[in-house]
Structure 1
Amino acid sequence: MTHDQLAITPLEEWLARTIRDPESAFRDWREGRPAVLALGSLFDAVKLPQRLVHAAASIPEHSAVAAVLGPLAGPVIWSPPGWYLALVPAGTADTWDSPHAAALGAGNYLPVPRLDRTAPEGIHWTVPLNGARTLCSPPAVVQLLHAGRDRQGLSR
């Protein structure tokens, strides 16, 4: 099977439902580009500063970062120039109150890599999406942010 003939997975179908033209997402993924998906209907995203995530992990090694992100219990994308994007339940942005990270919801868009992009070069999944509606826990995201701030010796 060539790259152009890759079968669309149920998870890709679920992700692509956030936009009016899901075929454009499939095309982007087939051509190796991230698809730009709408936030607010199936999920929101919390934009975590890389410096806080790396502080929480103590070291910036990919495996250490992935391990500290694991307890979020959902998928996380790394995007240049240095952001981790935790996918959280839709509506999280409406009530988000942490000053250490921005929550993006309805009216925002997110570049989302193909599900097999897990290598630490360019935009990729640091913690892959394992199931539709399996999203990061907002309280766990806040706890991670606090851990990063504490490790940096900064106040909450």
Structure 2
Amino acid sequence: MTAFHQPTITPVERWLAKSIKDPESAFRDWRDGRPAVLGVGILFDAVKMPQRLVHAAAGAPEQSAVAAALAPLGGPVIWSPPGWYLALVPAGAAETWDSPHASALGHSTYLTVPRLDRTGPSGIHWAAPPKHARTLCSPTAVAQLLHVGHERQGGTR
């Protein structure tokens, strides 16, 4: 009989999974190669940024340019088809979010979150993987990135 060894659950995965009542379901999904559906508004909120603005702010759509543009946000960002970047920001940020260039997801919403090793280039993946539990993007930096992208597109919607 072959013994099955449970993969080690990282502190980041443990922290993310605390956003739902059944963290084990997230661990199972990630272990089986699927993204997990996590709750927003308890541990983190999310800002849903249009890909066109992020790419404009980065100056190019290439993964390296986007990664460099996302680095100053200071936290994790997910890329989700068909073209959204989702910056994880502190819980409560959605209540005061005022940028006209993106919407914020807060309490009572859910977010599809890939395994930590899914870093692209296709399908839902981490455009900026989380480095530590509880480290999140600065809402001010996210708003600034969106403003830059908007201005680089000529200030049009």
Question: How would you bin the TM-score normalised by the shorter chain?
Answer: over 0.9
Match of 2:54 in 1: 53
TM-score (norm 2): 0.95
Match of 2:89 in 1: 88
Counterparts of 1:153 and 1:66 in 2: how far apart (Å)? 23
Match of 1:41 in 2: 42
SS of 1:8's equivalent?
coil
Match of 2:124 in 1: 123
CA contact (8 A) 1:28 1:34 kept: yes
Identity of aligned residues (%): 73
CA contact (8 A) 1:39 1:108 kept: yes
Match of 2:144 in 1: 143
TM-score (norm 1): 0.95
| RMSD, aligned α-carbons | 1.6
Counterparts of 1:98 and 1:32 in 2: how far apart (Å)? 34
Q: Superposition pairs for residues 69-80 of structure 1, below 5 Å?
A: 69-80=70-81
Q: Which runs of 4+ in 1 moved over 4 A?
A: none
Aligned partner of 1:65: which letter? Answer: V
How far is the alpha carbon of 1:3 from its aligned partner? 9.5
Counterparts of 2:4 and 2:150 in 1: how far apart (Å)? 42
Write out per-residue CA displacement over residues 49-94 of structure 1, whole angstroms, 9 at most, x where no aligned residue: 0000001111100000010000001100000000000000000000
SS of 1:134's equivalent?
coil
- Paired residues in the alignment total 155
Write out per-residue CA displacement over residues 121-147 of structure 1, whole angstroms, 9 at most, x where no aligned residue: 111111110111110000000100000
Comparing 85-94 and 119-128, the one that deviates more:
119-128
Cα distance change of structure 1 residues 133 and 151 upon mapping to structure 2, 3 Å threshold: same
Counterparts of 1:68 and 1:11 in 2: how far apart (Å)? 23
Match of 1:5 in 2: 6
